Amino acid sequence: MKFKITSMAMMLLLCSYQMIAQEDRQKEKKLVFIIVDGIAADMIPKTSTPNLDAISLKGDFSEAYVGGGKGTYSETPTISAVGYNSLLTGVWVNKHNVYGNEIKQPNYNYPSIFRLFTNDFPEKQTAIFSTWEDNRTKLLGENLVGTNFLKIDYAFDGFEKDTLNFPHDPYREYIKNIDKKVAYQAAEYIQNEAPDLTWVYLEFSDDMGHGYGDSPQLYNAITFEDELIGKIYEAIKYRESNFNEDWLFIVTTDHGRTAKDGKRHGGQSDRERSTWIAMNKKGNSYFKEQIPGIVDILPTMISFLELYPETSVKEELDGVPLLGMVDAVGLSANLDGATLKLNWKALSDTDTPAKFYVARTNNVKYGAKDEYELLGSAKIKNGTAEFNIGKKADIYKILMETPNHRLNTWITPTQTNN
């Protein structure tokens, strides 16, 4: 009898260990990001967005910005494809080279999230659902030499070219119908197939902005897009409830609108630069206390998906993660003779030092690498440092390396970055 009791206890203990192991087993990480076009930050509170509200309540919401450093080398047009590519690559237009919706000469030497993900996880699945085919064929550069023949595993796009099923009308209702088709397919596919990395793009809100400006038509379009976002979010909640999966869900926009009437964008006015980011995870102190940029979304995805890009890629990123620790932001530089003066905003008051480097070439632009030399170190909490820059060059690429991430800024002898 004593043996039987001991055996039963062992069996119960084993079952208990197995249950704990099952619960502790790392969840599979998956990610969806949505770009819903042309909604300035001040428009969100003016209309009904129950799904964005629910996502933000579970996670977080912040005003954000596009447009790069206003008045600096990284100033970036507040135009749709330009904004998409700043998100996809984590860099501003001076690097990714998409200056307009024509997408004439993208610089694929700054890889998109899809290339970074596929490089690390070639066996995992990617998907795109888009109301504009150029997002896949030009921005992501599917099957092009410059992207090493990137392949998206599942693509659902191109319906804007189908004038039989979606006859083009002056009120852009066909775009509304395409958005619905794209979003419903995205929700169904995510619920059933659960791709590991997914991009959804919705356009109708921007069309109503161009057509009617600040108007009931535009605000109704925002509510309509919110309903579509909710369909996709429901699919993600279903996956998390029924499978051992951890999903990051990010929703943002690509630009704001002009202050006068909301019909245009492209310039550097505050409202054209003003955007927002919603996600289903709690953001870090940077997300909560500063105004993040669209370029911060790619580092966030890299961190969440546990990707390991090459050092040369990380050195070029213009953003920092919205999850996890961020030590400093806003690195800027001035050159006073041979003295390099650096400033940044410290996000902690510890004595932890950062290291500073300089490169005097921009070889990354051409697919090569830059050689960085150490300038020295300084305490992050100080927010400032000075170094002798040494020999002259046509460009100085300054790199700040903290324990948790990197910041970079550029400067030339005839141009300062304030």
Backbone angles phi, psi at 313, to 5 degrees: -75, -45
Helix (H, G, I), strand (E, B) or coil at 104: coil
Mean pLDDT, rounded, of the chain: 94
Residue partners of 177: CB distance under 8 A and separation at least 6? 166
Strands 406-411, 28-36: pairing kind: unpaired
**Does residue 19 surpass a pLDDT of 50?**
no
Residue 412's pLDDT band (boundaries 50, 70, 90)?
A: confident
Q: pLDDT above 90 covers what percent of the chain?
A: 91
Query: What separation in angstroms does the CA of 330 have from each of 138, 326, 372?
Result: 31, 12, 20
- Check residue 7 and give its pLDDT: 53
- Check residue 390 and give its pLDDT: 85
**Average pLDDT of the residues in 282-297:** 98
Contact predicate 397/410, CB 8 Å? yes
* DSSP bridge partners of 197: 31, 126
**Average pLDDT of the residues in 107-131:** 98
pTM of the model: 0.93
**Does residue 205 surpass a pLDDT of 80?**
yes
* DSSP bridge partners of 63: 276
Q: 10 Å Cβ neighbour count for 238?
A: 15
- Check residue 348 and give its pLDDT: 87
Question: Which superfamily, per CATH, for 26-316?
Answer: Alkaline Phosphatase, subunit A (3.40.720.10)
CATH of 328-411, one of 2.60.40.10, 3.40.630.10, 3.40.50.300, 3.30.70.660: 2.60.40.10
How is residue 4 annotated by DSSP? H
Q: How far apart are CA 213 and CA 223, in angstroms?
A: 15
Q: How far apart are CA 40 and CA 253, in angstroms?
A: 8
- Check residue 13 and give its pLDDT: 47
Q: How far apart are CA 343 and CA 329, in angstroms?
A: 10
Contact predicate 49/222, CB 8 Å? yes
Backbone angles phi, psi at 213, to 5 degrees: 65, -155
- Check residue 98 and give its pLDDT: 98
- Check residue 391 and give its pLDDT: 84
Q: What are the structure tokens assigned to 225, written together?
A: 């897009």
- Residue range 257-270, pLDDT digits in tens: 999 999 999 999 99
- Residue range 214-258, pLDDT digits in tens: 999 999 999 999 999 999 999 999 999 999 999 999 999 999 999
* DSSP bridge partners of 251: 34, 278
Contact predicate 251/33, CB 8 Å? yes
Q: How far apart are CA 400 and CA 355, in angstroms?
A: 6
Closest CA to 80 of 250, 230, 213, 204: 204
- Check residue 319 and give its pLDDT: 98
With residues binned 3-state (H G I as helix, E B as strand, rest as coil), the percentages for the chain, rounded to 5, are 40, 25, 40
| CB crowding 182-201: b at 16 or more within 10 Å, else e | bbeebbebbbeebbbbbbbb
Residues in the chain: 418
Closest CA to 247 of 30, 59, 25: 30
Reported as type and span, the H/E element at residue 199 is strand 197-202
Residue 349's pLDDT band (boundaries 50, 70, 90)?
A: confident
Strands 28-36, 245-252: pairing kind: parallel
**Does residue 2 surpass a pLDDT of 50?**
no
Place of tokens 């509304």: 176
- Residue range 31-85, pLDDT digits in tens: 999 999 999 999 999 999 999 999 999 999 999 999 999 999 999 999 999 999 9
* DSSP bridge partners of 345: 329
Q: What residues does each domain of the chain span? A: 26-316, 328-411
Q: How far apart are CA 360 and CA 386, in angstroms?
A: 17
Reported as type and span, the H/E element at residue 186 is helix 173-193
Backbone angles phi, psi at 390, to 5 degrees: 80, -140
